[in-house]
Amino acid sequence: MTSPAPVRVVWSREMLAYDFGHGHPMTSERLDLTIRLADSLGLLAAPGVDLVGAQIASDDLLQTVHDPAYVAAVHRASVDGTPDLAFGLGTTDDPVFPDMHEASARVVQGSVDSALAVWERRAMHAVNVTGGLHHAMPAAASGFCVYNDAAVAIRALLAAGAQRVAYVDIDAHHGDGVQAVFWDDPRVLTVSLHETGRGLFPGTGHAGETGGPEAPGTAVNVALPSGTGDAGWLRALDAVVPAVVRAFAPDVLVTQHGCDTHGLDPLTHLRVTIDGQRRAAELLHDLAHEVADGRWVALGGGGYAVVDVVPRAWTHLIGIATHHPVDPESKLPEEWRALVRERYGRLGPDQMTDGRDARFSPWSAGYDPGDDVDRSIRATRAAVFPTLGLDPDYD
In a domain, 91, yes or no: no
pLDDT in tens, 82-140: 899 999 999 999 999 999 999 999 999 999 999 999 999 999 999 999 999 999 999 99
Beta carbons within 10 angstroms of residue 32's beta carbon: 18
In a domain, 74, yes or no: no
In a domain, 291, yes or no: yes
Domain count, the chain: 1
pLDDT at res. 1: 46
Options 66, 135, 262, 316, the catalytic residue? 135
In a domain, 90, yes or no: no
In a domain, 60, yes or no: no
For the chain, give the number of residues. Answer: 395
Q: Residues with Cβ < 8 Å from 24, sequence gap 6 or more? A: 95, 144
pLDDT in tens, 327-374: 999 999 999 999 999 999 998 999 999 999 999 999 999 999 999 999
Annotated active-site residue 134? The verdict is no
The Cα 261–Cα 195 span in angstroms is 8
CB 329 within 8 A of CB 287: no
User: Which has the closest alpha carbon to 128: 294, 9, 301?
Assistant: 9
The Cα 369–Cα 36 span in angstroms is 45
Beta carbons within 10 angstroms of residue 213's beta carbon: 7
The Cα 287–Cα 214 span in angstroms is 27
Structural domain of 165: 7-55+102-355+368-388
pLDDT in tens, 172-216: 999 999 999 999 999 999 999 999 999 899 999 999 999 999 999
Positive or negative, the Cα torsion across 317, 320, 322, 325? positive
Instruction: Say which CATH number the domain at 20 has.
Output: 3.40.800.20
In a domain, 169, yes or no: yes
In a domain, 239, yes or no: yes
| Segment 77-84 mean pLDDT | 94
Distances, alpha carbon 78 to alpha carbons 56, 59, 64, 297, in Å = 14, 14, 20, 29
In a domain, 95, yes or no: no
Buried b (16+ CB within 10 A) or exposed e, 130-151: bbbbbbbbeebbbbbbbbbbbb
